[in-house]
Amino acid sequence: MTDMVLTVGNTLMGDDGAGPLLADLLETTPAAGWSVIDGGSAPENVTHLVRAARPDRVLLVDAAEMGLAPGSVRRIDPGLVADRFLIDTHAIPLDFLVASLEESVREVVFVGVQPARVAFYEDMTPAVRAAVAELHRRLLAGEDPAELPAVA
């Protein structure tokens, strides 16, 4: 069974498009052992696809306000998502999404990308674009995203 990357974000809102950009990169150049679903701004609409695929692990990737330099990438304890790191551009809170995924997936790894700009019709910043490209490179190289540094 492969692991799955589930991305979240809105491509019309600048750096909030980090997740969908990673999905595009993985669709163009897949990483061995990973499938990908772009959940966009309503990831709850694709959870049935995740359940049907029955992955052992889901890597959930989204822009997250962590108080770090733009483009910083960190692993976030899924239990802390609602309390500290939510960027509210999604239809349901991400902690609900994580709880839903945990009902059928053994492990959920949440990775946040620190945005610089989240506003309608803004372009993605170079720092976030580079961070997503680096995350893609790590997946291609077989690096385990659970080994990414955790946010403090």
pTM, 2 dp: 0.90
Q: Which domains does the chain have, with CATH numbers?
A: 57-152 (3.40.50.1450)
Asked if residues 63 and 19 have their Cβ atoms less than 8 Å apart, the reply is: yes
Report residue 56 as tokens.
Answer: 């052992």
> Is 152 a residue whose pLDDT tops 80?
no
Q: What percent of the chain has pLDDT over 90?
A: 70
Top-confidence residue, 4 or 92: 4
Per residue in 76-131, pLDDT tens?
A: 987 776 555 455 545 556 667 777 788 889 999 999 999 999 999 999 999 999 99
> Quick one: tokens of 7?
């991305």
Q: Is the pLDDT of residue 48 over 50?
A: yes
CB burial class (10 A; 0-12, 13-18, 19+) of residue 73? buried
